Structure 1
Amino acid sequence: MTATVAAPDKTRRLVFPFTAIVGQAEMKLALLLNVIDPKIGGVMIMGDRGTGKSTTIRALADLLPEIDVVAGDPFNSDPQDPELMSDEIREQIAQDLPITITQKKVPMVDLPLGATEDRVCGTIDIEKALSEGVKAFEPGLLAKANRGILYVDEVNLLDDHLVDVLLDSAASGWNTVEREGISIRHPARFVLVGSGNPEEGELRPQLLDRFGMHAEIHTVKEPNLRVQIVEQRAAFDQEPQLFSQKYQQEQIELQEQLIQAQKVLPEVYLDYELRLKISQVCSELDVDGLRGDIVTNRAAKALAAFEYRAVVTVDDIRRVITLCLRHRLRKDPLESIDSGYKVQKVFDRVFGLES
């Protein structure tokens, strides 16, 4: 037995519209593809300060359609998908107990730099567990981020161990907390978005490789575009309601496009010959492991789905391959050539596009 209630209509602070963001096409594409297929494995965004990284990610979370959740459940459990349910909700459904379904915005969780592992993963109250015989679990940020976006600003300044924990959860879709022989796990499937400034140091290669895509963003140099960005920001700050209304139709259309893309994604076909060439590019670039091949395949399919196409084209692969591979190349300190240029050069040769 299932009841449905509408989410309370709260007056919420307006967020800068995603469709109003000027430039930074690479970052926007990487984020949209990860929303269509979260199994791509998240995005690492590297770029200068003040280039709109946080603004874009908040705008994306705000753009996404509301999701069905089980009311009162701290894990945003999906009432239909057992893979995205907490154990309690799964038991309730197995026993035919009534659950209440409500709708809420896709969660967007900001991970503070000083966060402890307990704050991220959650804690088990050992005393309560031993005295009352119940698994007293206090959910952390990973529980809150389930079915949403987890954003880590300055990820390169985060403790390596914590980055590992985040990447493990993002890859497996589960978070497990173990204390004194008591073990609790819950779904933690989210799009992991990390951002950082290269001046503050690079992420270790073995951690960087775990991010599905790597977008590089730079400060806009074109004076006309800079003026446009400044004016838009001023207009939004002055009249957020009015500014947002101007982009409402575009926001609705993009939201609809994302919903459709998620529906058609399982049907998208990637030809064997193209898959072979993707692997050849990875091999020639000396990419360790097979993660690069897998992510490029997924991203190319997500792009085709986003543009309502059932078959992946060479152009789809061209548009995503740099995002998927540039951070997996071995760094040569004497090499002055940009890694993105290197990927495109090998891609052109393998796919026979050299002029």
Structure 2
Amino acid sequence: MRPRLALVPGEPAGVGPELCIRAMHRLHDADIVVFGDRDALSQAADRIGLPVSFADAGAVVAAPGTIRIIDIPNAAPATPGTPDPRNAAAVISALEGAAAACIAGTFDGLVTGPVHKASINAGGIAYTGTTGLLARHAGREVVMMLANDIVRVALATIHLPLREVADAITPAGLERTLRITHAALREDFGIAAPVIAVLGLNPHAGEAGHLGREEIEVIEPVLERLRGEGMALNGPLPADTAFLPAKLEGFDAVLAMYHDQGLPVLKYSGFERAVNLTLGLPYPRVAVDHGTALDLAGKGTADPSSLLAAIDTCTQLARQRQGAHRGITP
């Protein structure tokens, strides 16, 4: 069966709607339904000169340029480059509606475009990010992973000031992150025996305690315990050499201790095809690895590569789960 994906364009004043239009002019190996404002999509199509037509969510669609849609109207017209807090509720409604449909089994995966955090908060909705929103909605502990064709990087901590990172890395939190990452590599990526490289927190992975003791007191004991259960965990490794190509060939994923320890390498190695995954949800969720790009909105020059990669990746993950449920390998 072709996977069924829900697609949320994100901030209507950003590049999300026009990227969605470009994506819907391509053929995909999945049936896609957009959760968003029909008028905003139509106006984006007019601005970039790509004709579109709309169909109900259950319609049979074969031709590129026809968009199956669940219309979630904005409260105010979208102006490219200028987010309107009045539209915050519609953005959140689209995300929650698509997530609920995935949990209900109507869809096999969720693809999300870029969202403008400041505009949503200005609209009176407390919002720290879509990853957290979806985790709370599903009642699950999750892990953020970014991936491209070269490397997968999971994060032990995400958006924290650097001075708070060390205290945030706890044995319980690190074990939970590794368990979720290991399970996702098996279940979603179909890797029977994943090998995970675990980075140290300090330079040179602490250099035997001379540059910090987090490796000795926190990280290594967790790794030893999980190795005893059969997990293949390499580390703690010095971050400055763990990403060398020869070493990456032996790893299925890298666990970085904080945001800027792992993500600059991933983005340098292939930003255009990078995607953001939320591991641990009851459905695959893949997002673009870029922001709303307000400076490009409405100009028709935004690159859809990350959204196309997100659709491709979500399709693969959904198909893997379908195959697992049927007891076969896709």
Sort the TM-score into its range (normalised by shorter chain): under 0.3
For normalisation by structure 2, the TM-score amounts to: 0.26
For normalisation by structure 1, the TM-score amounts to: 0.25
Higher alpha-carbon Rg: 1
